[in-house]
Structure 1
Amino acid sequence: MKVLVTGSQGYIGTVLTPLLKAQGHEVTGLDVDLYEQCTFGTDMPDIPFIHKDVRDIALDDLQGYDAVIHLAALSNDPLGFLNPELTLDINYRASAKLAELSKAAGVKRFVFSSSCSNYGAGGEDFLTEESPFNPVTPYGESKVLAEKAISALADDSFSPIFLRNATAYGVSPRLRFDLVLNNLVAWAFTTGLVYLKSDGTPWRPIVHVEDISRAFGAVLQTPRSAIHNQAFNVGVNSDNHRIKDIALIVSDTVPGCRIKIASNASPDKRCYRVDCSKIQRIIPEFKPQWDTRKGAYELFRAYRKHGLKLEDFEGPRFQRIGHIRKMLERKKLNDQLRWQTCKITDRSQESTQSVPTT
Structure 2
Amino acid sequence: MRVLVTGHLGYIGTILVPMLLKRGHDVVGLDADWFEDCTFTGELADVQNIRKDVRDVEAADLRGFDAVIHLAGLSNDPMGDYRPQLTEEINYKASVKVARLAKDAGVARFLFASSCSNYGASGDNFLTEDAAFNPVTPYGVSKVRVEEALHELADDTFSPTYLRASTAYGLSPRIRFDLVTNNLTAWAFTTGSVYLKSDGSPWRPIVHVEDIALSYIAALQAPRDLIHDHAFNVGTTTENYQIREIAEIVHDVVPNCEIGFAPDAGPDLRCYRVDCNHIARTLHEFKPQWTARRGVDELYQAYKQVGLALDDFEGERFKRIAHIQKLVAEGRLDADLRSNA
Aligned pairs (5 A) from 1:323-334: 323-334=323-334
Q: Distance in 1 between matches of 2:47 and 2:205?
A: 30
Paired position in structure 2 for 1:192: 192
Q: Does 2:261 match 1:261?
A: yes
Give yes or no for contact 1:205–1:240 (8 Å, CA) kept in 2.
yes
Q: Distance in 2 between matches of 1:272 and 1:149?
A: 24
Q: CA deviation at 1:221?
A: 1.1
The equivalent residue for 1:50 is: 50
- Tell me the SS of whatever aligns to 2:28: strand
Asked if structure 2 preserves the Cα contact closer than 8 Å seen for 1:18 and 1:47, the reply is no
Cα distance in structure 1, aligned partners of 2:45 and 2:109:
24
Which runs of structure 1 show a deviation greater than 6 angstroms over 4 or more consecutive aligned residues?
Answer: none
Q: Which amino acid aligns with 1:264?
A: D
Q: Give CA deviations for 1:198-239 in whole Å, capped at 9, x if unaligned.
A: 000000000000000000001111000111001000000111
Structure-1 residue corresponding to 2:180 = 180
Supply the AA of the counterpart residue of 1:301.
Answer: Q
TM-score, normalised to structure 2's length? 0.99
Distance 2:30 2:20 in 1: 15
Q: Tell me which moved more, 38-47 or 300-309.
A: 38-47
Secondary structure of 2:153's aligned partner: coil
Q: How does 1:119-198 map to 2 (within 5 A)?
A: 119-198=119-198
User: What secondary structure sits across from 2:205 in the alignment?
Assistant: strand
Give 1:41 shift: 2.0
CA distance in 2, matches of 1:7, 1:320: 14
Give, in whole Å, the separation in 1 of the partners of 2:90 and 2:34.
13
CA displacement at 1:118 relative to structure 2? 0.3
The corresponding residue for 1:17 is: 17
Q: Secondary structure, in 3 states, of the residue corresponding to 1:133?
A: coil
Q: What letter corresponds to residue 144 of structure 1 in structure 2?
A: V
Equivalence for 1:241: 241
Equivalent position of 1:76 in the other structure: 76
The residue aligned with 2:303 is 303
Shift of 1:259: 0.2
Q: Equivalent pairs: percent with the same residue?
A: 60
Q: Count residues in correspondence.
A: 341
Give the Cα–Cα distance (whole angstroms) in 2 for the partners of residues 154 and 43 of structure 1. 37
**Structure-1 residue corresponding to 2:290:** 290
With the length of structure 1 as denominator, give the TM-score of the two structures: 0.95
1:250 aligns with: 250
Deviations, residues 269-305 of structure 1 (Å, cap 9, x unaligned): 0000100000001111101100000000000000000
Aligned counterpart, 1:26 = 26
Q: Gaps (5+ residues) in structure 2?
A: none
Q: Which residue of 2 aligns with 1:314?
A: 314
Secondary structure of 1:238 counterpart: coil
Q: Distance in 2 between matches of 1:180 and 1:62?
A: 35
**Map of 1:41 onto structure 2:** 41
Q: Which residue does 1:347 correspond to in 2?
A: none
- SS of aligned partner of 1:236: coil
CA separation in 2, counterparts of 1:326 and 1:29?
25
